[in-house]
A and B are shown apart, each in its own frame.
Chain A
Amino acid sequence: MMAQNVTIRAVNQPASVVFRSIVEQTGKNFVYSSELLENMRVTVNVKDKPLKQALSIMFRDSDIEWKIKGKNIILKRREVAVNRKRVAVASGVSSRRPETSPATPKMLDEVVVVSRLEAPEVETSEIGAKKLTAGEIINTPVLFGESDVIKALQMQPGIAEGQEGLAGMNVHGGNSDENLYLLDNVPLYQVNHFAGLFSAFNPEAIRYIDFFKSSFPAKYDGRLSSYLDVRMKNGSQEGHHGSFRLGLTSGAFNIDGPIGRKTTYSVALRRSWFDVLSIPLLALANSASDDEKIRFRYAFMDMNAKVTHRFSNRATGFASVYFGNDILKTGSSDKHRPETGWYSDDKADFHWGNLVVQAGCNYRFNPVLTAEFTAAYTRYFSGMKNNQYSEEIMTTGITESRSVSQTKNNINDWIFRGDFDWRPDDMNRVRFGGNYILHSFLPARTDRRYTIGSTQILTRDSTWAYTANEANLYIEDDLRINDKFRMNAGIHLSLFNIDGKNDFGYGPRLSLSYRPTENWAVKGAYARTNQYVHQLSQTYLSLPSDQWVPVTRGFRPQNADKISLGAYWQSDNSMFAVSAEGYYKVMRHLVEYRDEYYLQPPTDMWNAQLCSGNGTAKGIDFKVEKVAGKLTGHISYSLAWSDRTFPDKNGGRTFPARFDNRHTINILLNWNISNRVSLNAAWIGHSGNRFTFLPQVWSSPDFGGIYTGDETPLKTSLNNYQLPFYHRLDLSFVVRNKRGYWTFALFNAYCHMNTVAIRKNDDSVIRVFRKVKLLPLIPSFSYTWQF
């Protein structure tokens, strides 16, 4: 194998920072005890030199010895010997275990793995699993240069982005509410800011993410299509580090470090600037208007904070808080009160977000059994309030009228969980655990209050509140049968109690891997998943009007059966990886709005507008990946079908899902041109989204009154039209300097505006169909200052 060269320029830099640079350049992983590098800083200045030479320079004045074994760089203190059987890999990061000497056993407290990738796909039995580090998320170019977990995942095969520019995720033909987003094991319901333009996960606060779309570990259940487990960053023990980023649309600040010898902290804040930018624009607009004053303010923020404390070599405690919030205030008022006539002042306030508070501990009972116990509270909230005030000013007096409408939608969950990891021998790794969740759902509470003069009318249109109890148990064994066969078998059992009924769900999981050679693996998997809550959304945007509702009477829990098959190859030097994954999924009891649901007034039970049906999805994902070197990235192609059949939709006929994108090609390239400059490019192309196109019209009836005249669109089959092929190139350049780095990004670099809808246009001279196209080239830049 050819020696790999690296370029590093670091003066008294934290060792972990330099490691990441090496990881990115070589694709190798660092494996070491967390205590090994405490507060260690290194100085090294090499340009295109062999990796071994760089490592020798880095550690020449230390008592650390290093060894390159395969794709791992193993570090240890010269006098320390390690017993192979007693290595505990923390935080679920898997890697090859370090080679050890048979000397006196001494257990490591924690093994830190600095790696670019998860274990190679040929080594595991998982299908469709992906681990992304914060660096990889940041290196995916996106709209406004706002790095985004979900948009980074959209580049993976089998994931449809949904509506253009938004952080939507439709996995293997599923709906957008079929993905479970976990923040350190705790579910988040609201995962978007700004109608879905940005996801709620601040990349600066993320250590890594685990994403599963085909074979699901038994630990996960509750959604049909995918599981995204976001792990927050722990504070560094090596000193205080942080960064400050200023972009066009938002700014972010994060800092982490030690508090004493045993405690670390990590804090990350992000806030948008839209409201600051809109102030002068609004002031201009308002000064130009003699009559009306417009109000507008939008902002989002999120905050992650985590404290970790090591009580002993066996026990580590942690506490964390996440708070994300969007606010939107709009309205208008007349500028002047006339002497007689009307004066009006209208305001609308929206707010929505998520709060997660959790505390827990990791405990090692013995060298082979570890556990994590967590208690958490998560609250999803959205509220909308509209306040319309008017005065009729007459010579004889003023008649005031006020109309106040407000609605709330909340979910409060109390979560208690225990997760165990037991490694009885080299062959088995058993994970088991359980949790109890006390849900409190308030799908909608709406008040409307009218005051006209002295008359006041108060109505509460709807209040539905439910308490639900959910219990889950799971167990799985990751069994290495021999060098060629590996199996992961498990089951997830769930019980959901609501509204006087009990729903029981079982989710067997099985995945098998056969590895005929070091380079090849073929796998097969089956998984059943269950879902007890679903999201109702009348639009394709993520808005506070979206409601998370439980499966109550009249509806059955959703479930899905999925069969996956995969073949994987990786090159001898682990530089290249190729995979092909096929799947077939059957989804049952899906819940959607029925056709013409608006004919059921909202004062009826909220679920009167819904109907239940089934769906199928099938397809195959191909991926060629270069995982190491200066140029990394992947090319993927997906061939997919997804359809739905609902008795109360489309006349009971099967129809294609909205994001039934038959062909999808994704190309992602990360090129480290030099130590200072890197270029990232993402090209996405896919068959157009499905659209319900109504080309024919009929003459509206003349019943008198205002509901007459013009013409009316003729009913057709749902999602009967495929929009034109979608394609887009996003670019970003990262230029580093001593203090930080600049990021310059181009969204839609060749300015191909894609069609998102078709509308009819009648300007009385011509009547034409028009493609509605959004999102031209959008440049952006940001600067991140690191300290």
Chain B
Amino acid sequence: MAILRYIIILFAATLLTACYEDFDPKIDTRPVLCLNSLIVAGEPIEVEVTHTWMFNDKEAERNHAVRDATVTILADGKVVGSAYRPEEGDTITIIAESPLYGSATAEVIVPYATPIGKVEVTPVVTDIRGGDEDFFHYGMLADITFNLNIELDVNDPAEIDNYYRFRYSEFSKRYDYDGTYAGDLTVSRPECFSLGQFIYDAEPIFKEHIGVFETVMGNDWSESFLFFSDRQFSGRTYTLHLKYTGNTFRVKSSQYDESLLECGLILSLTTVSQSYYNWAVYKWNADDGILGNLSDIGLAETQWGYSNVSTGAGVVAAQSSTSYPVDLKDFLKKYVNE
């Protein structure tokens, strides 16, 4: 809930109304180079080189690529070519020069992936339905609703500031609606497993970037922000509490095949560079935080975009990931009608 809008109602009622007047500020500005890049260990480096533009310049908005720039990439201070693949711990420096827009530099260290420690998965069945035959006369193998409580240990390396991003995805055997598998096996839906709701509030560290003001004003609902830092557990193990409710496993099939049960989650722990983390926090503040709303109407300080590029434009970030598969096969086996 964005309580802000009610406050704005209050102000609107009191201050009556705001009005707007279009104008051209007529100020001299000089466009500068902008560098954007996400460097991933083991993958080739791509750099997007553009230039800044006046917000009201419609032409520049459509076309702001810089094609005459020379881009030089250094790894640990040495120039590298296109065949170079960055490794964890490498310090990458990107230098771009353009005759028209000048030069820009950014540096980032490819972070070491942080190993995922112990993972404890506790599924709790909340509903099981019977095996009636449906219209297609497929036997109901399973219709299970369950919650998943997962505790995942992040073993934070000492003596270094780490920033993380947690991600998850589901996997399941996929079938065609009318297709067959393993001979005459026919199933009723393409994916048997469907992940329910991720309970964002269950893990407080995902909200460490949210201040009191935003929380109370109801601006903490953006549940896609899964970045966090090790500020509160530097050099120690932190256990992420992950809770998924209303997950379902439903499959109707004329016959049982154990491969139907191959489903679960992929949990990813990505160690991101500080620049990536800062960018994410900035975006949250600008798009979801209340200060972004208030600065729009002159009631809070204007916020510029976070950048780690020398020109103040662009973000050069790096990341390394580890992942952990959560296999639900053994759990589901107990509830499936064979």
Residues of A with Cβ closer than 8 Å to B?
A: 163, 165, 194-195, 197, 274, 278, 281, 294, 296, 298, 328, 330-332, 344, 346, 348, 350, 384-386, 388, 392, 394, 396, 399, 401, 403, 405-407, 444, 446, 448, 450, 452-453, 455, 457, 459, 461, 538-541, 543, 545, 593, 596, 598-599, 601-604, 691-707, 711-716, 721, 753, 755-762, 766-776, 778
Which residues on B sit within 8 Å (CB–CB) of A775? 15-16
A163–B294 alpha-carbon span in the complex (Å):
13
A165–B16 alpha-carbon span in the complex (Å):
12
Which residues on B sit within 8 Å (CB–CB) of A346? 1, 3, 218
Q: Tell whether, in the assembled complex, residue A385 and residue B1 are in contact, meaning their CB atoms are under 8 Å apart.
A: no
Q: Tell whether, in the assembled complex, residue B201 and residue A401 are in contact, meaning their CB atoms are under 8 Å apart.
A: yes
Q: Tell whether, in the assembled complex, residue A699 and residue B50 are in contact, meaning their CB atoms are under 8 Å apart.
A: yes
Q: Tell whether, in the assembled complex, residue B38 and residue A403 are in contact, meaning their CB atoms are under 8 Å apart.
A: no
Give the interface centre of B201, B210, B289 by most chain A CB atoms within 10 Å.
B201
Which residues on B sit within 8 Å (CB–CB) of A713? 55, 302-305
Q: Tell whether, in the assembled complex, residue B213 and residue A707 are in contact, meaning their CB atoms are under 8 Å apart.
A: no
Nearest 7 pairs between A and B by C-beta? A757-B298, A712-B305, A701-B36, A698-B313, A384-B216, A756-B298, A715-B312
Q: Is B52 an interface residue (CB 8 A)?
A: yes
23 A-B pairs with CB atoms under 8 Å apart are A278-B13, A328-B10, A346-B218, A348-B216, A348-B217, A386-B216, A396-B126, A405-B212, A406-B216, A543-B213, A694-B304, A696-B53, A698-B34, A713-B55, A716-B304, A721-B25, A757-B297, A758-B25, A766-B58, A767-B56, A773-B18, A773-B21, A774-B298
Q: Tell whether, in the assembled complex, residue A706 and residue B54 are in contact, meaning their CB atoms are under 8 Å apart.
A: no
Which residues on B sit within 8 Å (CB–CB) of A768? 22-23, 56
Q: Which of B258-313 contact A (CB under 8 A)?
A: 276, 278-286, 289, 291, 294-307, 312-313
A195 to chain B, nearest CB (A): 8
Which residues on A sit within 8 Å (CB–CB) of B21? 755, 770-771, 773
Residue of A nearest to B11 (CB): A195
Q: Is B99 an interface residue (CB 8 A)?
A: no
Q: Is B120 an interface residue (CB 8 A)?
A: no
Given B7, B20, B199, B204, which contacts A448 in the complex, CB threshold below 8 Å? B204
A760–B298 alpha-carbon span in the complex (Å):
12
Q: Tell whether, in the assembled complex, residue B297 and residue A756 are in contact, meaning their CB atoms are under 8 Å apart.
A: yes
Q: Is B67 an interface residue (CB 8 A)?
A: no
Q: Which of B28-69 contact A (CB under 8 A)?
A: 29, 31-32, 34, 36-38, 48, 50-58, 61, 64
A399–B199 alpha-carbon span in the complex (Å):
12
A446–B216 alpha-carbon span in the complex (Å):
10
Residues of B with Cβ closer than 8 Å to A?
A: 1, 3, 6-7, 9-11, 13-25, 27, 29, 31-32, 34, 36-38, 48, 50-58, 61, 64, 126-127, 145, 197, 199, 201-202, 204, 207-213, 215-218, 220, 224, 229, 231-232, 241, 243, 245-246, 276, 278-286, 289, 291, 294-307, 312-315, 317
Which residues on B sit within 8 Å (CB–CB) of A598? 209, 211, 281-282, 285, 289, 291, 303
Which residues on B sit within 8 Å (CB–CB) of A296? 6, 9-10
Q: Tell whether, in the assembled complex, residue A396 and residue B1 are in contact, meaning their CB atoms are under 8 Å apart.
A: no
B101 to chain A, nearest CB (A): 11
B100 to chain A, nearest CB (A): 15
Q: Tell whether, in the assembled complex, residue A776 and residue B17 are in contact, meaning their CB atoms are under 8 Å apart.
A: yes
Q: From known contacts A348-B218, A538-B213, A698-B314, infer whether A396 and B202 are also in contact, taking CB-CB under 8 Å.
A: no
Q: From known contacts A539-B294, A701-B48, A770-B22, infer whether A457 and B212 are also in contact, taking CB-CB under 8 Å.
A: no
Given A539, A603, A699, which contacts B208 in the complex, CB threshold below 8 Å? A603
A85–B206 alpha-carbon span in the complex (Å):
74
Which residues on B sit within 8 Å (CB–CB) of A459? 204
Q: Tell whether, in the assembled complex, residue A761 and residue B20 are in contact, meaning their CB atoms are under 8 Å apart.
A: yes
Residue of A nearest to B149 (CB): A455
B272 to chain A, nearest CB (A): 9
Which residues on A sit within 8 Å (CB–CB) of B276? 703
B96 to chain A, nearest CB (A): 13
Residue of B nearest to A388 (CB): B1
Given A332, A699, A715, A760, which contacts B64 in the complex, CB threshold below 8 Å? A699
A450–B241 alpha-carbon span in the complex (Å):
13
Task: With A598-B281, A692-B304 given, name 16 new contacts (CB 8 A).
Answer: A197-B14, A274-B14, A298-B10, A388-B1, A396-B145, A452-B202, A457-B204, A457-B241, A540-B300, A543-B213, A599-B282, A602-B212, A705-B224, A756-B298, A758-B298, A774-B298
Which residues on B sit within 8 Å (CB–CB) of A330? 3, 6-7
Given B243, B289, B294, which contacts A452 in the complex, CB threshold below 8 Å? B243
B190 to chain A, nearest CB (A): 24
Q: Tell whether, in the assembled complex, residue B306 and residue A601 are in contact, meaning their CB atoms are under 8 Å apart.
A: no
Given B13, B38, B243, B299, which contacts A163 in the complex, CB threshold below 8 Å? B299
A205–B300 alpha-carbon span in the complex (Å):
33
Residue of B nearest to A760 (CB): B55
Residue of A nearest to B283 (CB): A707
Q: Tell whether, in the assembled complex, residue B20 and residue A696 are in contact, meaning their CB atoms are under 8 Å apart.
A: no
Q: Tell whether, in the assembled complex, residue A407 and residue B218 are in contact, meaning their CB atoms are under 8 Å apart.
A: no
Q: From known contacts A384-B212, A753-B19, A769-B55, infer whether A452 and B245 are also in contact, taking CB-CB under 8 Å.
A: yes
Q: Tell whether, in the assembled complex, residue B55 and residue A601 are in contact, meaning their CB atoms are under 8 Å apart.
A: no
A513–B289 alpha-carbon span in the complex (Å):
54
Q: From known contacts A599-B281, A707-B283, A768-B22, infer whether A692 and B302 are also in contact, taking CB-CB under 8 Å.
A: yes
Q: Tell whether, in the assembled complex, residue B126 and residue A695 are in contact, meaning their CB atoms are under 8 Å apart.
A: no
Given B52, B294, B297, which contacts A714 in the complex, CB threshold below 8 Å? B52
Which residues on A sit within 8 Å (CB–CB) of B243? 452, 455
Give the interface centre of A296, A446, A714 by most chain B CB atoms within 10 Å.
A714
Q: Tell whether, in the assembled complex, residue A695 and residue B25 are in contact, meaning their CB atoms are under 8 Å apart.
A: yes
B221 to chain A, nearest CB (A): 8
Which residues on A sit within 8 Å (CB–CB) of B282? 596, 598-599
Given B58, B231, B314, which contacts A604 in the complex, CB threshold below 8 Å? B231
Q: Tell whether, in the assembled complex, residue B20 and residue A770 are in contact, meaning their CB atoms are under 8 Å apart.
A: yes
Q: From known contacts A598-B285, A699-B34, infer whether A450 and B201 are also in contact, taking CB-CB under 8 Å.
A: yes
Q: Tell whether, in the assembled complex, residue B6 and residue A601 are in contact, meaning their CB atoms are under 8 Å apart.
A: no
Given B52, B229, B300, B303, which contacts A601 in the complex, CB threshold below 8 Å? B229
A385–B307 alpha-carbon span in the complex (Å):
34
Residue of A nearest to B314 (CB): A698
Q: Tell whether, in the assembled complex, residue A699 and residue B302 are in contact, meaning their CB atoms are under 8 Å apart.
A: no
Which residues on B sit within 8 Å (CB–CB) of A444? 212
Which residues on B sit within 8 Å (CB–CB) of A758? 25, 298
Given A455, A700, A704, A762, which contacts B202 in the complex, CB threshold below 8 Å? A455
Q: From known contacts A452-B243, A715-B304, infer whether A540 and B299 are also in contact, taking CB-CB under 8 Å.
A: yes
Q: From known contacts A278-B13, A599-B282, A701-B36, infer whether A538 and B300 are also in contact, taking CB-CB under 8 Å.
A: yes
Which residues on A sit within 8 Å (CB–CB) of B284? 707
Q: Tell whether, in the assembled complex, residue B231 and residue A545 are in contact, meaning their CB atoms are under 8 Å apart.
A: no
A350–B213 alpha-carbon span in the complex (Å):
11
Q: Tell whether, in the assembled complex, residue B18 and residue A697 are in contact, meaning their CB atoms are under 8 Å apart.
A: no
Q: Tell whether, in the assembled complex, residue A707 and residue B312 are in contact, meaning their CB atoms are under 8 Å apart.
A: no
Q: Tell whether, in the assembled complex, residue B213 and residue A776 are in contact, meaning their CB atoms are under 8 Å apart.
A: no
Residue of B nearest to A395 (CB): B127
Q: Tell whether, in the assembled complex, residue B25 and residue A769 are in contact, meaning their CB atoms are under 8 Å apart.
A: yes
A543–B15 alpha-carbon span in the complex (Å):
17
Given B57, B215, B279, which contacts A405 in the complex, CB threshold below 8 Å? B215
A532–B31 alpha-carbon span in the complex (Å):
44
Q: Tell whether, in the assembled complex, residue B246 and residue A392 are in contact, meaning their CB atoms are under 8 Å apart.
A: yes
B53 to chain A, nearest CB (A): 6
B159 to chain A, nearest CB (A): 19
A405–B10 alpha-carbon span in the complex (Å):
23
Q: Tell whether, in the assembled complex, residue A714 and residue B313 are in contact, meaning their CB atoms are under 8 Å apart.
A: yes
Residue of B nearest to A537 (CB): B300
Q: From known contacts A601-B229, A774-B18, infer whether A699 and B48 are also in contact, taking CB-CB under 8 Å.
A: yes
A405–B215 alpha-carbon span in the complex (Å):
7
Which residues on A sit within 8 Å (CB–CB) of B11? 195
Which residues on B sit within 8 Å (CB–CB) of A332? 1, 6
A411 to chain B, nearest CB (A): 17
Which residues on B sit within 8 Å (CB–CB) of A461? 204, 212
Which residues on B sit within 8 Å (CB–CB) of A407? 212, 215-216
Q: Tell whether, in the assembled complex, residue A695 and residue B315 are in contact, meaning their CB atoms are under 8 Å apart.
A: no
Q: Tell whether, in the assembled complex, residue A596 and residue B299 are in contact, meaning their CB atoms are under 8 Å apart.
A: no
